[in-house]
Chain A
Amino acid sequence: MMRRFLLALCLVVITLSGQQLLSQQGIGTSGSSGAAIQSIVDQFYPQQLIDPAYPSDRYSCFAVFQTTQDGQASIVIANYLNVDGAIRILTRAANGTYNATEGPQGLDTSGAQCSIELIDIDGDGRNEIHLSTSGATAATSDWIFQWDGSSLSTLNPTTQMGLKAISDLGNVQLVDLYHDGTLAAYSVGQYPPPQDNRPDVPDSVFRLQNGRFQESATALCLGLPVGDPSFPYELFFGLAKGSTGPYTLRVINGDSQGNHRASGQILLNGTVLTTLQSRSDAIYTIPITLASDNQVTVEFATQYADSAMALVVEDNTPAPPAPSNLAAISRGSTQIDVSWAPSASNGVYAYHVYRDVNPSFVPSSVNLIRGAQYSPTTLRDHGLTPSTTYYYFVEAEGGYGSSAPSNEASATTSSQAPASTTPPSAPTGPSVQALGTQNNLSWTASTTADVT
């Protein structure tokens, strides 16, 4: 599995002009227009929609766009807590009334605080909607919506959590990292970062591909220069959990056409890694070796305001190897003991055990019998059906994903069935026959077939 992380050291956010469907006129609830806009928003988010158990949670944020000449907002984008699919666009009709367009349903856009900004992400001259919400901490969850004039769609990837989908983007900067005229989302995996800047979850870079954000790189830190070449910019970071490399450093220098490159040098842990002006190309890669704690120092200068630089470290740390020597032994009619050799990777924290009655089955949540917390390398599987062959796979789960399945193992439970729920028929005709010094006890057998 290829993993990459990124150091972006000098970033210039491109502002594109052109026809904009949404033009930002104001944001927020404060100011002289705040009460009037709040009144408009309240028409669509009445108090009774708010969870009565938590009335104080009626936080909202909204943005106002395209105000009309009479000063009335024509488009309001609003987000409320505790309302499913809370993101809505409120548009003002010619008669002064407002109509609501619902955003996608089932999204967790809730948050104790939120903000909305408009920003052109895909470089088409139209603004997208960036909604940012926070919870108990300063960390944010970020949503990117696109408004085509009649409907809202989501550009960011999501993960289903419980009944709602959450955004995979958190604590994002939207920046032109690749100088291609579109904004990548640099998503901080963990905020605040650990105090030693050694992340458990590396940051991620998402890029627009086929109209949606998809993860394109795994990152460990992102920084901005202080701007004065006499004070070299320093970044500190550690390896991601389970990360072993190898790594390459991808340098992207210059403006969006590869011109206006900065000069200077990049040092890794005190050693000069590369001299910027020594390279004739704007984008290139360098093999590097990382320690557990790393310091990148950048000394550079540029006379161009549109110079930009990004460093992307590609991490080729593989997923953990599959567990081996999986074995299954029958322990009677309803039990099978399963064991395996652990995966040879320090980053493994759990094993997923799968069972099915069909050989060569595909491991899935349907046949998962142990997961998440399960760390032993043995398992007594019981509650099984007698005289049945069961097949097993085990996968190792680590910081860099899940391994391939182990070898398949199987065992067959014995035929001795648990007790029938129907007692056998009674034996009949017991009799005792005296034979000399002993008596013979005899009876006619039960007619039930499986009496043993």
Chain B
Amino acid sequence: MAQYKNQHVQFIFLVQQDGYGDQSQGTFDNFYITPAPQLTATMMTSDDHQSVSTDDPAAQNAYFPLGSTFEIVLQKFNNDGTTADVPATYTLDSSSVAASLDSNALFPNNVVFMYGSKDGEAAVLQAVHTGTHHLTITPSDGTTNPVSLTINVTPPGNLGGAHLEVDSLVIPVADRKGVLPQYIKGQIEQESSGQFLPLSYRYEPLSGDVGDFAVISRGKDYRSTTQPYTSYRFATFSDCEDAALSAGVGLIDSDVSPRSIYKICTQGSCHNLSPSDNLVSAWNIISANTRQGWQKNAWYRKVYNAHQSGDSCNYLWTAQTSLAASYGYMQVLYTTAINPLHWTGVDDGSKNPSYLLDSSTNIARHGGSVELGTSYVAINVQKAHPSDVASPQCDSLSDLEGIFEEGWHAYNKGGGYPRLVLMKSYHWLPSIQKNIFDTLGGN
């Protein structure tokens, strides 16, 4: 009667009294007592798994870290001790998102969502916000009782095993925006060449100063009339298109000093830029810092050719290194922060470019790059997949990765960028709780 294993079985003996005072006795052979069904949780990225008997009070709550992908399966025991998955319907019911979500948050209605079909032998779930989400497992055969499980998604203890200093910055942002924390940390690794430098700075001539995309230099409105650019510009010299301008009134030393990582060479002598170097041209910097790899880009060829032919209009103008630069862990461009992200600045409304650096002081004033950079990814994921964001329809983790790859492609149009970020995110998978099934909070 294998079908009755794990069930409450009651034997009733009817003893007929024949009047001779006989005693009654029954003998049972080949009767097995098997354990109650178990719930097994498997982390899909590591194959780590834990099980708990459905009789155990701990089976009422399961704890998973934000960002994890896991499988829940209800299993019965066979007489030989092996287990068999119970065909069942897995249904996500009510959820309670713990975090105060941002307006552009992805998956705002889900603490977890389920990949693929709800019917089958298991449910694969994705944790996207902290909070609780209720899962009901209804066996198809009717001989096993339904199981009610509360899934608790909590902040991971750490993301990967290194650079833990960014975790406390990344995890709350991930929670508020619905971007998996390992994705943010992977993007930070990518943007910082694996060095996780909060004060990382890079002059990005293409973004604003050079060529067809220039928005700041040479004859552009941003240079002379548009806030906040005019507040934080460098003084300019007269060139073939523009008259000289004075420095913006908001420019401070911390906006100027990051450029000291670059050299300029004059009359055969080279030195690192100092605050006293005024009226530095873009060409001064571009030509003296070949390790930056600028020469790989099409705009370099145009500027180089202009230089070679003496066409000063097309290579000689003031470098706006504070405005045409990217900042911090996420290397957010100042031009991106202002538009399209509409950065509101730090607490007092100041929008100095250097406030995009991820210093503790800036972060305390709600500056820094992580919030803005993650917003850009979230916005572009939402634009590409509005229905998936409202009601996730992903069949697999690969589907979810594909959706985010579109967001990363919008962030950086280089062909290899989405794949690089994805590969690096694997370094920073959230740590799992010691006890997934627990009555004490998953520790």
Contacts and interface: CB of A to CB of B under 8 A. Distances in A.
Interface stretch (A32-40, A216-224, A400-408): A216-224
Name, among A82, A132, A332, the residue most crowded by chain B CB atoms within 10 Å (CB to CB). A332
Nearest to B49: A380
A135 B193 contact: no
Contact of A111 (B3, B195, B336, B413): B413
B140 interface: yes
A373 interface: yes
Interface in B29-66: 42, 44-47, 49
A117 to B, nearest CB: 8
B290 A170 contact: no
A419 to B, nearest CB: 5
When A and B form their complex, which 7 residue pairs have the shortest distance between CB atoms, in order from nearest? Answer: A332-B82, A115-B212, A201-B416, A141-B413, A383-B121, A193-B293, A138-B206
Contact of A135 (B16, B413, B415, B426): B413
Interface string B1-44: 11100000000011110100011111100000000000000101
Interface string A143-162: 00000000000000001011
B397 interface: yes
A335 B84 CA distance: 8
Interface string B419-439: 110110010010000000000
A108 interface: yes
Contact of B45 (A163, A203, A374): A374
A54 B386 CA distance: 12
Contact of B339 (A51, A56, A162, A451): A56
Contacts of B298: 132, 140, 171-174
Contacts of A452: 1-2
Interface in A405-450: 414, 416-421, 423-424, 430, 432, 434, 437-439, 441
Nearest to A9: B295
Interface stretch (A182-190, A247-255, A278-286, A318-326): A182-190
A432 B15 contact: yes
Contacts of B308: 227
Contact of B207 (A138, A376, A417): A138
Contacts of A190: 414, 416-417, 420
Contacts of A170: 413-417
B311 to A, nearest CB: 14
Contact of B420 (A111, A200, A223, A335): A200
A391 interface: no
Interface of B: 1-3, 13-16, 18, 22-27, 42, 44-47, 49, 69, 73, 76, 78-80, 82-87, 120-122, 140-144, 190, 193-195, 202, 204-207, 211-213, 215, 287, 290-293, 295-298, 300-301, 304, 308, 326, 331-333, 336, 339-340, 373, 376, 379-380, 383-385, 397-398, 401-403, 405-406, 409-420, 422-423, 426, 429
A401 B56 CA distance: 47
A352 B423 CA distance: 14
A222 B295 contact: yes
A82 B73 contact: no
Nearest to A158: B415
A86 B373 CA distance: 26
Contacts of B143: 419, 423
Interface of B: prevailing SS: mixed
Interface residues of A, number: 104
Given A173-B301, A383-B122, A418-B86, 10 more contacts: A136-B411, A139-B414, A162-B403, A170-B414, A191-B296, A223-B295, A335-B82, A373-B429, A424-B1, A441-B27
A135 B141 CA distance: 53
Contact of A349 (B27, B44, B423): B423
Contact of B213 (A115, A161, A197, A421): A115
A234 B206 CA distance: 22
Nearest to B425: A373
B416 A171 contact: no
A335 B82 CA distance: 9
Contact of A56 (B16, B193, B340): B340
Nearest to B144: A419
B384 A163 contact: yes
A137 B331 CA distance: 8
